[in-house]
Amino acid sequence: EAGVTQFPSHSVIEKGQTVTLRCDPISGHDNLYWYRRVMGKEIKFLLHFVKESKQDESGMPNNRFLAERTGGTYSTLKVQPAELEDSGVYFCASSQGSGFKSYDEQYFGPGTRLTVT
């Protein structure tokens, strides 16, 4: 079974440009998460989709970031316009969603390394 995939693996853009990151979750997983790690910091939560709905977007840094999940399948994260501080590794994760009192494991993709110059 294919894992979580992310595209591109690396993106270098100039400040002010727009970049769109894509995440394809594991087939059948209702939950999709975006996280980000900036240099020297811990991985931080950005937002959580349940199917096509945003369940929690409390970690989104500002309105330059827009996440969508069309039809509850793949998700995109757009940064417009990009700033230098947006550089980092963006991880996507997906989980099945148990609905029970047990841990719903999140499976992570390899990440997209974004460099804003």
Partner 1 sequence: QKEVEQDPGPLSVPEGAIVSLNCTYSNSAFQYFMWYRQYSRKGPELLMYTYSSGNKEDGRFTAQVDKSSKYISLFIRDSQPSDSATYLCAMSPDDKIIFGKGTRLHILP
Give me the amino acid identity at 5. T
Report yes or no: 46 and 114 within 8 Å, Cβ to Cβ: no
**Of these, 73, 83, 104, 117, which contacts partner 1 (CB under 8 A)?**
104
Q: Which stretch binds partner 1 (CB under 8 A): 12-20, 41-49, 69-77, 79-87?
A: 41-49
Burial readout 80-94 (b: 16 or more C-beta within 10 A, e: otherwise): eebeeebbbbbbbbb
**Of these, 19, 21, 24, 31, which contacts partner 1 (CB under 8 A)?**
31
**Of these, 30, 52, 59, 96, which contacts partner 1 (CB under 8 A)?**
59
Site for partner 1 contains 1 (CB under 8 A): no
Distances (CA, A) of 33 to 15, 23, 106: 25, 10, 8
Binding site for partner 1 (CB under 8 A): 4, 31, 33, 35, 41-45, 48, 55-56, 59, 91, 93, 102-111
